[in-house]
A and B are shown apart, each in its own frame.
Chain A
């Protein structure tokens, strides 16, 4: 079902969704404390920032069905196209948390609805690059999700600037995998530094700009919004993914306005992409609240930014459509 504004359809791309399995049956017995800790943390995010009527029971949150995701995204959630960003976590989940294979089941069934992204991990070396070539050949992926804080054996994270990481980025450039979604969780190595540092994005964004790579920083670098904004203002190929930022619109509208206005000020409305991070949150209420949202006057005045209908359309779908060459009906484009 399309979202209608003054009788006209608004094009919505949800650029960060999951089809995860965090049910106890999928917890690795030797790592169940982490597998449970991970999904419980997600569940606290979900409970904390969702309107109460949107809070699920924990067992459903651990593992939801095809019917749930189709209803929540497309039947009721106004989404035209959703982009899967896999997150493996195989040290904790036997079959992985949200893998290409899990997502591909839905992609094959509903090819018009979903875009499948791949993933890689710099620590996987040559075997990982072989897998990436295979995933690209099989699925024609145009993007990858990188989670730099993933645990792997004794390693508690990696950096985009690691030599092995640059080999993967070279391969992405060669294959035309141009959308690099980066999730900076609390990278735990080196442990004594700022765990959320996004400086490595700056480095590779410069290096791979001419090769055509775009770096979509998920969660806009939160909790390091300031570092992200400075990088974004210097690097034209850096984008802000609004997953996690969006739900503040309900629970913390003032901070949502403050954070969004900073991003409009530093990056502008052409480099921000809407996302629900489903099933962390659901797009229906996010889209409704976002379309109804206005920046408070004092913020508009102090920062000299505005969130117009045109900005909203770009953020909700048109910007991501450009990144992924998604065809948008002419009537749903913005003028100019």
Chain B
């Protein structure tokens, strides 16, 4: 392979790695959202620039993104070094340099954090992403004519290709550490317990407002980024 094509394929691999990193709150790819882009030099040094919809975006959410982008790119074979810069942000310097030297969030912001780390926050967003995918899927199963009792009896194996969003739901479910075994109940809560027939509709009402909230936030963040930097925004 020539040096040029090696550089091109490294650039592709880096972009693919970055594309797999999500905004934790919106559960969308940083590349798709237009938040992140990477530059790779001939020696395999990667610089990632992260830019967010506002100067004030929550620093803990930003820390997760900078950290995840750093780790994802660092794992790509052939990458010699990674530097992730959070730009145009009130805490950009602290966050970028904190991640660069491998500090935990609590260490980087020791006075302001309560020592609990970012894992509970990450899990909270994973739960919301799971719920947002689950709600339209289960709602559709009801709309197709099944009773709540029938949906409550369904198994993972009852889901087929015809159920749009089924695979994404199972992906989010797997990420929460929940079973996706074919024999496992299809309708489960974020803690893995099955949803009883009589609880299904109230559960979905609460799930719906989570989905609406995530979708509205995504639309707003995307269009704010477009206003700030003049990029195209995501479609409704």
| Interface of A toward B, CB cutoff 8 Å | 33-34, 37-38, 40-41, 44-45, 47-48, 154, 156, 185-186, 188-196, 222-226, 229-230, 248, 251-252, 254-255, 258-259, 262, 265-266
Contact = CB atoms under 8 A, between A and B. Distances in A.
Given A191-B105, A226-B210, 14 more contacts: A34-B90, A41-B54, A48-B227, A188-B112, A192-B114, A222-B216, A223-B25, A223-B220, A225-B209, A230-B209, A248-B220, A252-B223, A255-B236, A262-B209
B113 interface: yes
Bin chain B's interface residue count. 35 or more
Given A191-B113, A254-B236, A196 B58 contact: yes
Contacts, number: 110
B114 A190 contact: yes
A45 B57 CA distance: 13
Interface string B83-124: 000000010000000000000011001011110111011001
Interface string B163-190: 0000000000000000000000000000
B203 interface: no
A66 B212 CA distance: 39
Chain B: interface secondary structure? Answer: helix
Contacts of A185: 56
A154 B112 CA distance: 9
Contact of A37 (B55, B111, B209, B212): B55
Given A37-B56, A255-B219, A258-B216, A44 B116 contact: no
B209 A266 contact: yes
B55 A193 contact: no
Interface of B: 25, 54-61, 90, 105-106, 109, 111-114, 116-118, 120-121, 124, 128, 205-206, 208-210, 212-213, 215-217, 219-220, 223-224, 226-228, 236
B63 to A, nearest CB: 9
Contacts of A34: 90
